[in-house]
Amino acid sequence: MGAIPVEDDATTFEVRNRIATVTLNRPARLNAIGQQAREELIAHFARVNDDEEIWAAVVTGAGTRAFSVGGDLKEMSDYGRERTSFPVPMGGTQRNLYESLLEVYKPTIAAVDGYAIAGGFELAMACDLRVAGRGSQFGMPEAQRGLGANFASVVLPRLVPRGIALELLYTGRFASAEEAERWGLVNSLVEDGAALDAALALAERLTANAPLSLRRYKHMATKGWELPVSAALRLDAGPNPYVSADREEGVAAFNAGREPQWAGR
What is the Cα–Cα distance from 59 to 112, expressed in whole angstroms?
9
Q: Are residues 152 and 224 in the same domain?
A: no
**Structural domain contains residue 5:** no
Q: Are residues 225 and 145 in the same domain?
A: no
**Structural domain contains residue 157:** yes
Q: Are residues 113 and 136 in the same domain?
A: yes
Active site residues: 122, 142
User: β-strands 129-133, 115-117: how paired?
Assistant: unpaired
Q: Are residues 38 and 102 in the same domain?
A: yes
Is the pLDDT at 3 greater than 50? The verdict is no
In this prediction the pTM is: 0.90
**Structural domain contains residue 89:** yes
> What range does the domain containing 16 cover?
11-207
User: β-strands 108-112, 129-133: how paired?
Assistant: parallel
Category of 8 on φ-ψ map: left (φ > 0), alpha (ψ -120 to 50) or beta: beta
CA 10 to chain centre: 17
Q: Are residues 191 and 135 in the same domain?
A: yes
**Structural domain contains residue 262:** no
Residue 28, CB-side half-sphere exposure with 13 Å CA sphere: 3
Tens-place pLDDT, residues 122-132: 999 999 999 99
Determine which of 149-163, 168-182, 224-238 has the lowest per-residue pLDDT on average. Answer: 224-238
For the chain, where are the E strands, in sequence order?
Answer: 11-16, 19-24, 56-61, 66-68, 108-112, 115-117, 129-133, 137-139, 174-176, 188-190
What is the Cα–Cα distance from 119 to 63, expressed in whole angstroms?
18
Q: Are residues 70 and 89 in the same domain?
A: yes
Residue type, position 158, single letter: R
Q: Are residues 137 and 215 in the same domain?
A: no
Predicted confidence band of residue 8 (pLDDT cuts 50, 70, 90): low
**Structural domain contains residue 4:** no
What is the Cα–Cα distance from 132 to 188, expressed in whole angstroms?
7
**Structural domain contains residue 46:** yes
Is the pLDDT at 76 greater than 70? The verdict is no
What order of strands is seen across the sheet that includes strand 129-133? 11-16, 19-24, 56-61, 108-112, 129-133, 188-190
When pLDDT is averaged across residues 28-49 and rounded to a whole number, the result is 95
Domain count, the chain: 2
Is the pLDDT at 1 greater than 90? The verdict is no
CATH number, domain with residue 196: 3.90.226.10
Q: Are residues 103 and 180 in the same domain?
A: yes
Is the pLDDT at 194 greater than 80? The verdict is yes
Q: Are residues 199 and 214 in the same domain?
A: no
Q: Are residues 53 and 155 in the same domain?
A: yes
**pLDDT at residue 86 in the model:** 47
Q: Are residues 156 and 240 in the same domain?
A: no
Q: Are residues 143 and 31 in the same domain?
A: yes
**Structural domain contains residue 2:** no
Is the pLDDT at 89 greater than 60? The verdict is no
**Structural domain contains residue 3:** no
Tens-place pLDDT, residues 216-231: 899 888 888 888 888 8
